[in-house]
Amino acid sequence: MRLLHTMLRVGNLEKSLAFYTDVLGMKLLRQKDYPDGKFTLAFVGYQDESEAAVLELTHNWDTDSYDLGNAYGHIAIEVEDAYATCAAIKAKGGNVVREAGPMKHGNTVIAFVEDPDGYKIELIQKAGRND
């Protein structure tokens, strides 16, 4: 068994695709409209689906936004340099909601960014780069 994907419901597919591809550097792996069901599925990731887990962005054509609830946590992405990644995300119009720095009660360097729907993405600096 292996983890295939995590699905997120998005209110505006174009904004979400721009965020995940242009701001976070993922690739659009595949996208398909389902007119009878009035929804679109778009799969994004850093590697092909046969190699790694990806994100499935589900856009229901008649829904502009969702209540994120209080049970969902975040997506985590390993980065070489959290400080530089935050700067690059801000330069591309992304929303950094917690600047890069050591985590509370530890020394791992983390940051948090938010996608257009309010989902949190944690950036975790690769081990050994705690500068």
- Helices (DSSP H) in the chain: which residue ranges? 13-18, 82-91
- List 56, 99, 114, 122, catalytic entry: 122
The CA dihedral of 119, 122, 123, 126, to the nearest 10 degrees, is -150
CA 79, chain centre distance (Å)? 13
Is 122 part of the annotated catalytic residue set? yes
Active-site residue list = 122
